[in-house]
Structure 1
């Protein structure tokens, strides 16, 4: 509901909001320009009587004095029979420049307020302000959901450039846009007399003294009115004894006798009128120049958010299959909710949706982020298909779901089935789906069937689960799904370095050219997006739609794509990669892995890896241009055969990027493993951890388990465990 409330006002009103925002941003510069050009402030202690006297001394034919919320004072007078206006220096009463509003400013003002269309335009602008209010409020909620709660509102983002740019600008601009939209709606309500009316101007008196010619300096009310409170002072028509001075201040307005200075009538401004005047000054920036500029800067984000929002919407439509007969949430008997990181889980959801519909079901399929139990009035079951991101995390689109589920007062009454999608080679296999099932059980949510999993997009696993679901529902259900390959780009191999032949373990460092991308491709997420060492390169081997993932040993700034590959027995992808020659290409795509990289700050970093697991660790060292203390423990087979990055490590140590290198060779003159190297360095490791060091481990599952056990022994005297460090984000693994 919130996502729909955010999407459609944005798409429908994008052009209108862009026009309003850009014109408002340009108009916000004029009060600042006035402030820069204004004469030195001389209002302190100055009365309206003294100001009027000074101006009349310069311009005897003055008929009105106005003071804007910005403090600019304007006198309107005649030069012979020609009307004129000047911006006044209150210290002297002299004009410092002409007060005519530039034609461009007048045009922008009419465009911003009414789209150059009169009352119809004003109504459209008010509608735009309402749309901006809805977008701002719904956007706040969606950002909080995406990052995992209000406390993480400014947490780092992942995903495509367009999506990240959309949210980053929104987080910076939303306060200003909220303020602008609320004040614009108030001003529109005032324009169309929708607010409570104040007393208005007082009735002009029936009787005046009939005298004329009293100087402003002789009128007590003008002497008692500070210039800082003045809105306008209108002089009586020359020779008209029935006319009077008209005084308007921030507190009210009234009439002064031009013969004896008596206050003839007065009306205080109502609270609504005062609030309207304040809101007008703040919205236009005339009351506070800095605020006006900030609002203008916020408005500049609107066209960018409109463009990126459109790109995100189009990308989501492309990445999500078109579902025929997708029922509304309130009418469906089966609610199918999907949490997908790369889009592949949506393909399985489409297959399930079609099969359930063909079996006579009424199915509503939607992102897991749209979870709203109150809307599922006729639902008999809820099915959640959930992929896992990284080390057991939720996909970006469903990051706040667990928090929302935990916050429910009671579990939905409709039974639940959870199906997880993942890769068993990763330790946190289907970790997010497991977390959903565990929390649902803790909330007392009844299970339609036990949680199940699909390994590596296996159609067989999915079909097996589908038959079990059909048996539970009492209908035959055959799910025949063929995974589609992710969108990939062609990477051209430019160099390779081979290792491990002597140890019968062929290994290579493969370096590919970095494909060029236009700005439009970046916004659409096309091509190879921005990446860093530790992210994952998905490689599609020929003859298979199932990708294999390799940790990147380089970042975009390095200007190339680099991975380390070891030949696996019977490995389709590793075999094809190790057969590559410079000039040949592979099909690949990027999967971000932001959890596996050195954290912010200057604390030391302990890098522990074995075999090709050294790849991303070498990438971290390569990127360490600031010289942060990094200590690498590297285990491999033989120094003469398998010492990956030997030359680079020596160079990086000389450059200060690598503080220390400790090796462990299992087939050398003194055979030992990386765990042995850690034990031998126990005292230094304890000191580094005590100083706040972060530990990053990359390599095979058995190696990682051994490293964890060894570090548990080393840290035990300090009362620490790897689990403690992991809970604090100081122990991170990338294990395969």
Structure 2
């Protein structure tokens, strides 16, 4: 429900929210400017009487003193019959001209409060504030779900460039938007009397005794009221001997006898009136100027959020296949798709086409389309991704509720194919949930649940053979994903290792190749933006399926660097190892924000073997803040495949790397990284107690050995590797 609500409300209210937020950001300028130009705050001992005395001497015709939220003291007085306004210095009594309101800002304020209209505009603005509140809450909940839970809310945002920009901007702006929206809703409800009146209390009218008017210093209440509590002080009208002093503070209003100084009547603010003053000050940012800056910047982010939100919605709409196949009541086999980024639909279409070629009547529908029209189906084949920490993807958000109401026939069969990424603790978690739910519903299982890691075409083909055998047909699934957009990369430098021991490994550094497209020719070739730990996809000769390599540099380094071992019979690694400086190859960058050091200053334990040290070297290279980083590196021989040796020694000297613990399996004393970990158990426990994060990169066998060694290290701490994974403190990039 969250995503449809968020999308619908965002699209429906986009223009209104942009207008309200932009005008709100502009209105934040004045409070900040007033605060920066205001005189230094007076001492806590300065009273209202002190400033009132200074005002009567500086402006004999003083009528009113007002303390602005910025701290500025504004005096209204008469010069003859003409009113005048000035700012008074509460320390010296010096007057300076008060800034005149800008006609432009008056229009902006009118736009923000009522859209340049009257009551209809106020109602619409109030509805806009409510829409912003719902969008902020639902967006925050969706972001937390996508990152794997509320505890991971500060973690890296995943997805396309537009999704990452939208998520990062919303996370930065959400606190200010929640404050603005909540207070805006409260003020609107007060305006239309749904909530009590928020206007300050007004003391009952009173008449002063006749006699000479006392000076402010002679009035006890004015002497006892700190200047910081003042809202307004109105002086009695000179020609009316019965007029009174009127003092308004944060607590209420008092009428004071001009001749005796006695308090004639008072009215204290109700709890809501006091709360409303805080609500108003929060909404306008007048409570504190840093808050004003926060609200202004948050409001300024709304046009960006609206633009990226519409772009994300449009991309999803365009990417999703047509729904004509969803009316599948006459099909024997219904392929139900749960997809977040739309790639699962491509696998579903490959399966449908293969089944049709084998004579099986099949159709494709979203999991959310489950309903009575599908009762005639003989089997359900569920292809589903997982969103966040085991949650349903967008096209399957209502599936479990629909399944609970669905009347399944006694012969209905099912099979579940999950798509996910083994780096996540809840790998294919939603597929697991669906598999159990279908079995509990009474459907007959065709074959055990199958999981596919990182959209493996080979894994898909393997499952296809098993599924075909289960339904009695020969099924060959050859899935060819849409060819990604690539750019030319030119090899600038290569450093070769491991040739002497039969394990050739090369560090390859690329720059931009030939520019493509009109913008490329106009602006020149350039590398895309990336961080160490992201992935570069390279297309092997004659293949549309990319091979991915972890990046050992960031775009700030000016090169795209990877570390590649030549694999026996490897098409892509063979092509890369054959490159010479000046040669070009096509590639593309895919963000991998789940594999990089978490923000902060906690220690980082880096564990890698062979070419897996590449991204770890990139993390160390980028460690300009000199946070503690400890590298455990496994290789075969220090004289042949000690990758990045010179760099690592230099980083040790400049403290980007805190410690280096190499292990060599073919040089005495022979050891692997897990042996180094076991030997350093006590030191590792100390680092983990300081919230250290562990990043592991390399082959699966190495990663398995590292996990076992660390399990023994963690046992005395009553911790497990699984515990650290759940906290995001143990992250793997294995192959």
Counting only pairs closer than 5 Å after superposition, residues 148-163 of structure 1 correspond to structure 2 as: 148-163=148-163
Q: CA RMSD in A?
A: 5.5
Matched residue, 1:488: 486
Matched residue, 1:338: 338
Residues 1:176 and 2:176 aligned together: yes
Measure, in 1, the Cα distance between the counterparts of 2:71 and 2:608. Answer: 65
Counting only pairs closer than 5 Å after superposition, residues 454-603 of structure 1 correspond to structure 2 as: 456-458=456-458, 460-461=461-462, 482-498=480-496, 507-514=505-512, 530-594=529-593, 596=595, 603=603
Q: CA deviation at 1:705?
A: 5.3
Measure, in 1, the Cα distance between the counterparts of 2:701 and 2:467. Answer: 34
Secondary structure (helix, strand or coil) at the match of 1:13 reads helix
Structure 2, unaligned stretches of length 5 or more? 409-413
Measure, in 1, the Cα distance between the counterparts of 2:77 and 2:726. Answer: 74
Counting only pairs closer than 5 Å after superposition, residues 26-37 of structure 1 correspond to structure 2 as: 26-35=26-35, 36-37=37-38
Measure, in 1, the Cα distance between the counterparts of 2:630 and 2:163. Answer: 33
Q: CA deviation at 1:134?
A: 1.4
Structure 1, unaligned stretches of length 5 or more? 367-372, 388-393
Contact 1:528 1:590 (8 Å CA) reproduced? no
Q: What CA deviation, in whole Å up to 9, does each residue of 1:245-275 have, x standing for no partner?
A: 4736345568778788898877665554444
Moved more, 16-25 or 626-635: 626-635
Q: What CA deviation, in whole Å up to 9, does each residue of 1:50-87 have, x standing for no partner?
A: 76665445444444444445554433333233222223
Residues 1:13 and 2:13 aligned together: yes
Contact 1:18 1:302 (8 Å CA) reproduced? yes
Counting only pairs closer than 5 Å after superposition, residues 24-173 of structure 1 correspond to structure 2 as: 24-35=24-35, 36-38=37-39, 40-41=41-42, 44=45, 46=47, 55-89=55-89, 95-98=95-98, 100-173=100-173
Q: CA deviation at 1:129?
A: 1.5
Matched residue, 1:609: 609
Moved more, 217-226 or 10-19: 217-226
Moved more, 146-155 or 164-173: 164-173
Secondary structure (helix, strand or coil) at the match of 1:432 reads coil
Moved more, 489-498 or 245-254: 245-254
Q: What CA deviation, in whole Å up to 9, does each residue of 1:604-645 have, x standing for no partner?
A: 7464424x44544554555566495645544347956x6655
Measure, in 2, the Cα distance between the counterparts of 1:93 and 1:21. Answer: 39
Measure, in 2, the Cα distance between the counterparts of 1:258 and 1:361. Answer: 89
Q: CA deviation at 1:138?
A: 0.9
Please point out which of 410, 417, 420 is paired with 1:419: 417
Residues 1:299 and 2:280 aligned together: no
Residues 1:437 and 2:432 aligned together: yes
With over 3 angstroms needed to count, the CA separation of the structure-2 counterparts of 1:167 and 1:678, relative to structure 1, is closer
Residues 1:364 and 2:370 aligned together: no
Measure, in 1, the Cα distance between the counterparts of 2:714 and 2:207. Answer: 95
With over 3 angstroms needed to count, the CA separation of the structure-2 counterparts of 1:270 and 1:613, relative to structure 1, is closer
Q: CA deviation at 1:544?
A: 1.9
Measure, in 2, the Cα distance between the counterparts of 1:650 and 1:236. Answer: 81
Matched residue, 2:411: none
Measure, in 1, the Cα distance between the counterparts of 2:719 and 2:486. Answer: 44
Q: CA deviation at 1:130?
A: 1.9
Contact 2:352 2:362 (8 Å CA) reproduced? no
With over 3 angstroms needed to count, the CA separation of the structure-2 counterparts of 1:556 and 1:674, relative to structure 1, is farther
Contact 2:325 2:365 (8 Å CA) reproduced? yes
Q: CA deviation at 1:563?
A: 2.9
With over 3 angstroms needed to count, the CA separation of the structure-2 counterparts of 1:261 and 1:362, relative to structure 1, is farther
Counting only pairs closer than 5 Å after superposition, residues 446-457 of structure 1 correspond to structure 2 as: 446=441, 448=443, 449=445, 450-453=448-451, 456-457=456-457
Measure, in 1, the Cα distance between the counterparts of 2:717 and 2:64. Answer: 81
With over 3 angstroms needed to count, the CA separation of the structure-2 counterparts of 1:379 and 1:260, relative to structure 1, is farther
Measure, in 2, the Cα distance between the counterparts of 1:259 and 1:7. Answer: 65
Secondary structure (helix, strand or coil) at the match of 1:491 reads strand
Q: CA deviation at 1:577?
A: 2.8
Measure, in 2, the Cα distance between the counterparts of 1:635 and 1:491. Answer: 29
With over 3 angstroms needed to count, the CA separation of the structure-2 counterparts of 1:528 and 1:232, relative to structure 1, is same
Contact 1:65 1:75 (8 Å CA) reproduced? yes
With over 3 angstroms needed to count, the CA separation of the structure-2 counterparts of 1:248 and 1:470, relative to structure 1, is farther
Measure, in 1, the Cα distance between the counterparts of 2:280 and 2:155. Answer: 35
How does the TM-score come out when normalised to structure 2? 0.74
Q: CA deviation at 1:133?
A: 0.9
Moved more, 215-224 or 629-638: 215-224
Contact 2:41 2:71 (8 Å CA) reproduced? no
Contact 1:541 1:572 (8 Å CA) reproduced? yes
Q: What CA deviation, in whole Å up to 9, does each residue of 1:99-118 have, x standing for no partner?
A: 64344543443343234444
With over 3 angstroms needed to count, the CA separation of the structure-2 counterparts of 1:654 and 1:235, relative to structure 1, is closer
With over 3 angstroms needed to count, the CA separation of the structure-2 counterparts of 1:716 and 1:220, relative to structure 1, is closer
Matched residue, 1:348: 347
Q: CA deviation at 1:217?
A: 5.6
Secondary structure (helix, strand or coil) at the match of 2:47 reads coil
Contact 1:344 1:486 (8 Å CA) reproduced? no
Measure, in 1, the Cα distance between the counterparts of 2:41 and 2:596. Answer: 55
Measure, in 1, the Cα distance between the counterparts of 2:208 and 2:639. Answer: 111
